[in-house]
Structure 1
């Protein structure tokens, strides 16, 4: 049986960071297991390729939720990356960290070391920001952050429209103040996607101490008593086991990590017994505390075909120009992330921290791009940043190849709908402002904006995830019965086992989750390296003659 120092399960936004950083030490061996394939597809590296992956199973798990009563019985859609780089290889590349409040809240809940001031150095360590050079941003990090190379002219209209409803321009929503609207900064390098795989893993692949195995589905963690000693995985119809001398690190995401813990016998007994899985350790918080951003899109037809994406002969002409521009200069429409504008705002004047987010898109967005309209247009998402609805992730079966049972319980808390209706109105007001008058056509889903009941039904009929599930392996204190990991992300009651990904967030941050997930990995891998360096020093000292 092959043996490594560390086994990392999941080659996504966190796993790529962990594997790369650990193998900076040539004496440390790491095996990274990824259920998806390599990130070689041009759809990944060409920014506009996201539109082909998001609504399909291309590099995408394409999960669905159980029927949601809060969405009038609809099944929600949950795209997640199934390739090296994980969701950072299929997302819209938006760079947003959330608010200072979010991380200070984590620490106030007893998670020592997770305040904003203690997390900021790791955001900066990860980052190479081409534009912002100040105390809030980093240079020289693996993750390149840039302005869009060829933004649409509609972006200026979006900023004017935000100003017209009281949302000011803000040159950096990741800086001193989050409130405001700006052109989206993106995780791109030279006009190409800069995923976690591209940033961290690709430069590390030649290291002899790093083994990467793709299309490998991890079945379970192997234990001796309550110590993780390896994993079992499947590849090409065969079953393999590998061992580790130090730790198994789960970085399979908010759905995959709790699923794998339960498949391995860690979780609430009632959740395991129903599938005939022997319990190794009782940890009732596994799969609980699922939080996700609920989101509603308004879309309008547009007469501005040059500045938008759409289905038309004009688009064929535009793309015939864009392809050579992309090939020769890595600019033009092919470098667009579609979601070219971002904004953070408050639902009411007395709200202290932004509780809503705008995402302005230079295309028609309907049902995650799964409904295609033969027209050009523009759209905006409004996202509820701190929902109070809490869901679960459970097993559908004991088969590791089955999708998990995902229940976000959208709108199960009544306050979420109250704030979402306010967000609906603010977004509609923004999009129907004078800034868009000469390019705006009709909306695809007209609703009387004075009728709150009609607005609520529109939300229940069309709202869905903004792709930010977190919290299902919650970080917390020992007296929190639903905490799964401690502040070092070690699984309670076990040894040699950690979870390092978005599932450890005790609460959902008020912003996109990719940059925070990378920060989490940077922070914890630093702690891991320090821990084992101290152990090595202690062993060396104990062997020296007195």
Structure 2
């Protein structure tokens, strides 16, 4: 067959072959939504391919087990290539490698960003992706347990809840924010993000509301969605310029899966550009250097990498106890019993309970610093352990970095780990904003409501004397917030990888739908935006492939 003839020799021969109308690569926050929505049409067959296992692990579903999902074996470790010394950020990063992707392992914080984020997308060439255009797809996903308004609804599959549990320290921290001059904000997703408050979370009745739980499993049961886990996609197979199938390795066997209509890559901001390049779509000179036959010269693939960057401040508490008290076995058993009986207690908390958004510079047009308060320690990586005492953590995050990185194949081993160059702090404004964000964070922690509970700083070990010391701390401890976006940017210029309908330029039958298409970062955690992209991508696919409009209903 023609579609097996291009640059795919190791998949030639008597391999098992299966056909579907649509193939979605990646069972994460976007891909799971795309596949589940497409499967609502009884006249089409859909396959969802996920490299990791199913989400059967009990700790995936218990919010308080965040410390385990954020560091455990359900993560794929990716290499960084630090090309400069502007930041000594961690030299590895991770992606969720389990059904549900990041939504199965993340902190469950449900934040959309602000309307200006999406209006800015449209201004950069993502025509039709303004806030008013994307709001219906945020609403289509949302099942909010509290709010009903023009920007909230309660009937969607993704359950969004007010905190089920609030530690007294979280309340004290939000009060301290107000003492520092921040207004209280009851709803960070109202369209106005500025201020402090408590995060709504992707949880329901004390359980995580992941894309796997909200979308994928119901689609398997109700609509016959085919899900293949432990299925590694090696490349897209082309017949000429038409994407016709994918070559996969599953349970040690090589297979070819064919798509009658379209293939959707939803493998994330690291793996999607990697798959495009392995499939012959990317910067032509780089592909030739890596020994990959060029299908389409696409210089923007792997460019425009962005991530939120964060730094942690760790404090040792006095007599006040934090969630650290539950690290001992007897207390773990007590918390587990309370959760099993009542779906309540510390295990029902996502730990990241209080938050705030604030300006780093007076001329910023939107908040550029996000704060996350954790009444405990140990979830964060790259910090000095706090032994024998309780502590609390303040995360200071830059939401609108100007620095840009890139991703490339390892030319000596193209099928191995990609070479990721994050370039954190390569733009001077990012450091200036982080210094101001740290200043404000330290000011909050000095307010009476929270400082009365603190005995000392733990990390850093002593107060900063000046901005130079803050900058040095940021360079040492800054790390990616695991919100990578932008490597297959949507737009209309010659560096854009996909058009506003998410079609990959230069080929047919192939789309990208995940965080990689975002032109710029949203202001806050990216999971909600990824789910919105999935909802919109499914709608576009249904319309363009003349699928039944009945399946688009809520």
Q: Which TM-score bucket, shorter chain as reference?
A: over 0.9
Please state how far the C-alpha of 1:506 moved relative to its aligned partner.
Answer: 0.5
| Distance in 2 (alpha carbons) for counterparts of 1:119 and 1:111 | 11
Please state how far the C-alpha of 1:318 moved relative to its aligned partner.
Answer: 3.4
Secondary structure of the corresponding residue to residue 66 of structure 1:
coil
Contact 2:382–2:477 (8 Å) recurs in 1: no
When the two structures are aligned, how many residues end up with a matched partner?
A: 532
Listed as ranges, the matches of 1:178-189 within 5 Å are: 178-189=193-204
Contact 1:347–1:423 (8 Å) recurs in 2: yes
| Distance in 1 (alpha carbons) for counterparts of 2:261 and 2:136 | 27
Deviates further, 489-498 or 450-459 = 450-459
Alignment equivalent of 1:98, drawn from 107, 113, 126: 113
Contact 1:67–1:75 (8 Å) recurs in 2: no
The answer on 1:47 being equivalent to 2:69 is no
Listed as ranges, the matches of 1:153-192 within 5 Å are: 153-192=168-207
Deviates further, 173-182 or 245-254 = 173-182
TM-score norm. by structure 2 comes to: 0.92
The answer on 1:525 being equivalent to 2:542 is no
Alignment equivalent of 1:359, drawn from 368, 372, 375: 372
Contact 1:168–1:181 (8 Å) recurs in 2: yes
The residue that corresponds to 2:427 in the other structure is 413
| Distance in 1 (alpha carbons) for counterparts of 2:187 and 2:47 | 38
Deviates further, 93-102 or 199-208 = 199-208
| Distance in 1 (alpha carbons) for counterparts of 2:202 and 2:384 | 27
Please state how far the C-alpha of 1:308 moved relative to its aligned partner.
Answer: 2.6
Alignment equivalent of 1:468, drawn from 480, 483, 486: 483
The answer on 1:143 being equivalent to 2:147 is no
Task: Say what the alpha-carbon RMSD is for the aligned residues.
Answer: 2.0
Contact 1:266–1:282 (8 Å) recurs in 2: yes
The residue that corresponds to 2:288 in the other structure is 273
The answer on 1:224 being equivalent to 2:239 is yes
The answer on 1:514 being equivalent to 2:527 is yes
Contact 2:315–2:392 (8 Å) recurs in 1: yes
The residue that corresponds to 2:19 in the other structure is 3
Contact 1:150–1:333 (8 Å) recurs in 2: yes
The residue that corresponds to 1:27 in the other structure is 43
Alignment equivalent of 1:254, drawn from 240, 248, 269: 269
Please state how far the C-alpha of 1:316 moved relative to its aligned partner.
Answer: 4.0
Contact 2:489–2:516 (8 Å) recurs in 1: yes
The answer on 1:390 being equivalent to 2:390 is no
Listed as ranges, the matches of 1:92-491 within 5 Å are: 92-207=107-222, 209-303=224-318, 306-310=321-325, 315-365=328-378, 368=381, 372-374=385-387, 375-397=389-411, 402-444=416-458, 445-477=460-492, 480-491=493-504
Secondary structure of the corresponding residue to residue 147 of structure 1:
coil
| Distance in 1 (alpha carbons) for counterparts of 2:432 and 2:154 | 41
| Distance in 2 (alpha carbons) for counterparts of 1:236 and 1:401 | 18
Residue deviations 1:233-276, cap 9 Å, x none?
00122211010110010000000100000010100012212221
Residue deviations 1:327-349, cap 9 Å, x none?
01111111111111121111234
Contact 1:62–1:77 (8 Å) recurs in 2: yes
Residue deviations 1:99-131, cap 9 Å, x none?
111000111122221011111111111000001
| Distance in 2 (alpha carbons) for counterparts of 1:43 and 1:270 | 45
The answer on 1:18 being equivalent to 2:34 is yes
The residue that corresponds to 2:6 in the other structure is none
Contact 2:322–2:391 (8 Å) recurs in 1: no
Runs (5+) with no aligned partner, structure 1 = 537-546
The answer on 1:63 being equivalent to 2:78 is yes
Quickly say closer, same or farther: Cα 1:90–1:185, change in 2 above 3 A: same
| Distance in 2 (alpha carbons) for counterparts of 1:193 and 1:155 | 20
Contact 1:66–1:75 (8 Å) recurs in 2: no
Runs (5+) with no aligned partner, structure 2 = 1-16, 550-554
Secondary structure of the corresponding residue to residue 97 of structure 1:
coil
Instruction: Report runs of 4+ in structure 1 exceeding 4 Å deviation.
Output: 70-74, 397-401
Quickly say closer, same or farther: Cα 1:534–1:87, change in 2 above 3 A: closer
Please state how far the C-alpha of 1:77 moved relative to its aligned partner.
Answer: 3.5
Deviates further, 275-284 or 372-381 = 372-381
Secondary structure of the corresponding residue to residue 80 of structure 1:
strand
